[in-house]
Amino acid sequence: MHVFLTGERQIGKSRALNRAAEMLGMPCRGFRTRFLTKERGSSSLYMLPAEEEGPLDEDHLVARLEQGRLHGLTERFDTLGTEILRKSREDPDALILMDECGHLEKSARVFQREILRCLDGDQPVLGILRKNQEWHAFIRQHPRVKVLEVNEDNRHMIAETVVSLISQEEK
């Protein structure tokens, strides 16, 4: 069973994902995205292997702010993101994290194919889906994926639900 969380921005999806991953006690691979806001209000998005804290450098850049809008660098998702996920699949005991699948990678077809390979594999996947993204259809419709909505009422207990779903599959 693979579990993806979705919900409104800043509702606690990443916090729930991190808590569930910690409760599962498995090594974590996959990716995490991080924003870095620089002086003059420009912002950039970086993708890092889930097991690393940094660096937030040009090698990990996947989107940059241009003319007031964040623009995804499709070729970076297709190269960096694909490589991170491919390496993640080499560790059969690991939980694959995908934090988060948003709108910036909608044209990154190579990256999306690697996500599908992860979903077709035997390792559990725990991820976050930004709401209302058409390219997520193949994730949402995958027979081994369960999508849970995080909201004000369940955000403090959703990690336990995630752990239960993934643990059931592991048995």
Mean of pLDDT values over 25-44: 82
**pLDDT score of 21 more than 80:** yes
**pLDDT score of 127 more than 90:** yes
Binned at pLDDT 50, 70 and 90, residue 170 comes out as low
Contact 97, 127 (CB under 8 A): yes
Mean of pLDDT values over 37-52: 79
Binned at pLDDT 50, 70 and 90, residue 24 comes out as very high
pLDDT for 28 equals 97
> How much of the chain, in percent, has pLDDT values that exceed 90?
82
Token pair belonging to 152: 């004000």
pLDDT for 42 equals 60
pTM of the entire predicted model: 0.93
Q: Which domains does the chain have, with CATH numbers?
A: 2-170 (3.40.50.300)
The vertex-39 CA angle with 36 and 40, nearest 5°, equals: 115
Exposed / middle / buried, residue 23 (Cβ in 10 Å: 0-12, 13-18, 19+): middle
